Structure 1
Amino acid sequence: MFVGFGPEDDVLHSRLFMQEEVEYNLIHLIAGNQESMRLKTEENDLIFAHAPGRNSWLWLSPELEEERRRSLVRELTEMLADRELPGVTGTPGTGRLFADAYSKLIGKSHHVRMMMEAYHCPQVQLPHGVSGKLQQAEPGDIPLIARYLAGFVQECFGTESAPEDHLDYAGTVMESGKLRLWIDKDQPVSMVNLAHQSARHARINEVYTPREFRKYGYASAAVAALCDELLSKGVTPMLYADAANPDSNKVYQSVGFKRTGSIVDLRFQ
């Protein structure tokens, strides 16, 4: 039987969920969205979270026996048969188990959009010899942030967009006070954003350096400086990195990020 849950529910602070909390950190964000669909079992061994228009996320307890895993997923997909889900995200075994069952039920196929590596940074290694400093973005930076966001989307998802398409979001993240720019010789050269913070972790996203400023260590320095700030507040930084991008994975590992597991982004066709 499935029941609803909220952002402070015991399931999000249970021993078993916390074993995979880095991989499933985005569930904390969805749990706080009142428009999202949030389901769990009474036994706290399954979490399903789906925000409108976004991929659903599915967590299954790592201690579940295979028969119960399949039974729960079958029951869940039958319950969701009348909903049109864009896709599902989870650890590879869990994500594919749901995708196979749901695809068969609704008569659609599915494909892997992206494989991601989940990282956390329990201790930061600040790089040496990188010129510049990390500063909070200001209103005058909004056009530049929009350009950086267009570049980030192009490189991460292969989607072309104009900087003007990102102006509203650029203004929102600037006003949040969470977006930082690495400034060298009075010029912004790299960007890093604190996307979301939960009780134990802070998720870093939208790390981007224009090509002309790469190979100087700016991205490493920006991420490390933000991690140092977060760790000083007792929060562990975490992020997702595209498994197909060895350069970004190398940058994160160089400043202290440790891989905790893999996440698959599956889409229904």
Structure 2
Amino acid sequence: MFESFEPDDRVLHSSGFKQEEVLHNLIHRIAEYEDAIKLKSIDDQLIFTQSTGHNAWLWVSKELEVQQRDDLVRQLAERVKDSGIPGISAEPETAKAFAEAFCAAKGKLHHTYMMLKAYHCLEVRKPGHVSGSLLQAGEAHIPVVAEFTARFVEDAFGTSEQQENFLSYADEAVRAGNLYLWVVDGVPVSMAAIAHRSARHVRINDVYTPRTHRKQGYASAAVAELCQILLDEGLTPVLYADDKNPDSNKVYQTVGFVEAGQIADIKFD
């Protein structure tokens, strides 16, 4: 019923998955980890991926009837019930079906931790009258990228973080050419990062503006300019946003991102 697969497997290019690829884009990244669990149904109607310590991600084809989906998900839950899976991320009904089956087998409870909106940008709407320009971060920017990342994590998760904890991440991201800064008069005032490139999409994350520079349109301008660069390369920008964060969702919608669906992030207790 299920078999392992490798990155760039045909299932990741199947017509069924491509229809919902924006919503499930993170599956591409997880599939690249050597030690990740990577399973698919033999008919390419389901994909399950999980990297150590993180939520599993699950896609089930919309071509299946609800009962077919639920039966397949129950069989999957039985297959992976002995794996150390802390939660599931999937389209809400699919996530619920897996969580119920998995937790019933394990004697656990579950709760919805977060609802994410998936977006893609097919045409950019650049904000007008925003001072500054987009700059690809260089080695000299590593300390400020680390500081921005620490504050981003603090805002997103409510944890107090030190800049030093993110220096290695900043160094790697900058050297890979994946960090961009919006700069005004030589001062970085906003940040956006490329998280991952797949065959058809580029996922953006870590969009952050320090509190002292907010409400000036800097984040919108940075994301818009980065999206235009990616579209010019023939790739579609995608991202996920917390459904409970109206400010970030507004920024993305303003510059041309269109919602492609929701992902439920469910944790197992």
Return the TM-score normalized by structure 2.
0.98
- TM-superposed CA distance for 1:8, in Å, is 1.5
Q: Secondary structure at the match of 1:165?
A: helix
**Structure 2 counterpart of 1:37:** 37
Deviation at 1:67, TM superposition (A): 2.0
What is the 5 A alignment of 1:192-203? 192-203=192-203
How far does the alpha carbon of each residue in 1:108-152 deviate from its partner, in whole angstroms, 9 at most, with x for none? 111111111000000001111111111111112111111111111
- Name the CA distance, whole Å, in 2 between partners of 1:249 and 1:85: 29
2:103 paired residue number: 103
Q: Tell me, which stretches of 5 or more residues in structure 2 are unaligned?
A: none
- CA–CA separation in structure 1 for the residues paired with 2:85 and 2:57: 11
Amino acid corresponding to residue 87 of structure 1 in structure 2: G
Residue identity in the other structure for 2:258: K
Indicate the residue corresponding to 1:86 in structure 2. Answer: 86
- Answer yes or no: is 1:50 the counterpart of 2:50: yes
- The alpha carbon displacement at 1:259 in A equals 0.4
Q: Distance in 2 between matches of 1:211 and 1:83?
A: 41
Residue aligned with 2:39, SS: strand
What is the rounded CA distance, in whole Å, between the counterparts of 2:78 and 2:2 in structure 1?
12
Q: Which runs of 5+ in 1 are unaligned?
A: none
Report the Cα offset of residue 244 of structure 1. Answer: 0.2
The CA distance in 1 between the partners of 2:34 and 2:240, in whole Å, is 24
Secondary structure of residue in 1 paired with 2:190 = strand
* Aligned residue type for 2:102: Y
Tell whether the 8 Å contact from 2:53 to 2:84 is kept in structure 1 after alignment. no
Match of 2:165 in 1: 165
Alignment match, 1:183: 183
Bigger drift between 157-166 and 92-101 goes to: 157-166
1:83 and 1:19 map into 2 onto residues whose CA distance is: 29
Q: Supply the RMSD in Å over aligned alpha carbons.
A: 0.9
Aligned-residue offset at 1:65: 1.4
Q: Superposition pairs for residues 1-269 of structure 1, below 5 Å?
A: 1-269=1-269
Q: Please state how far the C-alpha of 1:208 moved relative to its aligned partner.
A: 0.1
CA distance in 2, matches of 1:58, 1:170: 30
Using the alignment, how far apart are the partners of 2:28 and 2:83 within structure 1? 22
Structure 1: distance between partners of 2:95 and 2:251: 27
Inter-partner Cα distance in structure 1 for 2:4 and 2:144: 41
- Secondary structure at 1:18 match in 2: helix
Tell me how far 1:159 sits from its aligned partner. Answer: 2.2
Aligned length: 269
Percentage of pairs with the same residue: 51
Question: C-alpha separation between the residues in 2 aligned to 1:174 and 1:103?
Answer: 41
Secondary structure of 1:202's counterpart equals strand
Q: Deviations over 1:170-203 (max 9, x none)?
A: 1111111110011001100000001101011000
Give CA-to-partner distance per residue, 1:76-116, whole Å, 9 cap, x none: 11111211211110110111110111111111111111111
Give the Cα separation in 2 of the matches to 1:157 and 1:115: 14
Q: Note the C-alpha offset of 1:160.
A: 2.1
Cα contact 2:142–2:167 (8 A) shared by 1: yes
- The amino acid across from 2:15 in the alignment is R
Q: Distance in 1 between matches of 2:96 and 2:81?
A: 17
